[in-house]
Amino acid sequence: MIIICFALVADAAIGNYQEKIMKEHHVPNVEIVFYSFIFGFGFVLFGLLITNHFFSSLEFWNKV
C-alpha cells in the first residue's frame, strides 16, 4: 500500500517537473519521454539485480 501511494505521488510530481523542463529548456516531448523510460528501465534493472530476480524474469519471458 505504501509503495502504491509513493508511486502515485511520484507520478503526479513528475508530470509537473517535465512540463517545467520543457518550457524552460525547450526540450521536445519525445526526449522527455525517452529519458523518463531510460531512468525507469535502469531503476527496475537495478532492483532485479539486487534482489537476484533478473535471470528468473528472463526465463519467464522466454517461456511466453
* Rounded Cα gap, residues 13 and 57, in angstroms: 30
Number of domains in the chain: 1
Q: Got the DSSP string for 16-36?
A: HHHHHHHHHH---HHHHHHHH
Each residue's pLDDT, cut to its tens digit, for the chain (64 residues) gives 999 999 999 888 888 888 899 999 999 999 999 998 999 999 999 999 999 999 999 999 898 6
Task: Give the residue numbers spanning the domain of 50.
Answer: 2-63
pTM, rounded to two decimals: 0.65
What is residue 15's predicted lDDT score, i.e. its pLDDT? 86
